[in-house]
Each structure stands twice: as structure tokens, then as C-alpha cells.
Amino acid sequence: MGSWSFLSDHRRVLLFLTRTPGMELDDIAAHLGVTERNAHAIVADLTAAGYVSYYNDRHRDRYQIVAHEPLPEPMSREKTFREVLALFTGTGFPPAQGEQR
């Protein structure tokens, strides 16, 4: 039987960044066990969708979660990304600036 994962690599990146914000691409790749090129593609997808943002600390880009975005699935739009991450991680997120809980 081939190997498979319960969570997609995209979701694994999100969970990793939830637990350890401010990570660099090489850290993400090493944690997932994928190439930096693959990690870059995943992070680019998540950034384009608005779930990840990045900042430059003068040396390298670092990535973090943007938890206040709604989910893309039509059946789940009443839930925010923050609420789903809390289910997976058992943590809460402070509300974004101007957002109410």
C-alpha cells in the first residue's frame, strides 16, 4: 500500500505557520520534507488566496497566517479561517484589528 497523508501539504503549511509564525521557506520545506521549490509553490498559493502574508526582516522573507479570512468553500463561508485553525490546533487567535469575536 502506498503512503498517503490525512492532511494536504497546503494544510500542513498552515498548521506549521500557526504554531511557529515568522518561519522562512527553508524551515517550511524542512518541516514538510519537501523541496524549497515545492514549499515556495504552496506558500505562493496560500499568499494569493490571502491566508498567508509575508514580511522581509532585511535578510529573508518570513511567513505568517492571516486568520481572519473567510473560507473559500460556499458551505463554510459563515466560518472564518481562524475558527477552522482553532479546531486543528486547539488554540485561539486574537481578533484582527477592528474585528469582533
Q: What is the pLDDT along the chain (101 residues), one digit of tens a residue?
A: 556 566 688 888 988 888 888 899 999 999 999 999 999 999 999 999 888 998 998 888 899 888 777 666 665 555 666 776 776 666 655 555 454 54
How far is CA 50 from each of CA 1, 9, 71, 72, 73, rounded to the nearest angstrom? 36, 17, 10, 10, 14
Query: What does pTM read for this prediction?
Result: 0.68
Q: Is 9-89 CATH 3.65.10.10?
A: no
Residue 59 is placed in which grid cell?
535578510
Neighbours of 14 (CB within 10 A): 23
On the 0-12 / 13-18 / 19+ scale of CB atoms within 10 A, 39 is buried
18 bridge partner residues: none
Parse the chain into domains and list their residue ranges.
9-89
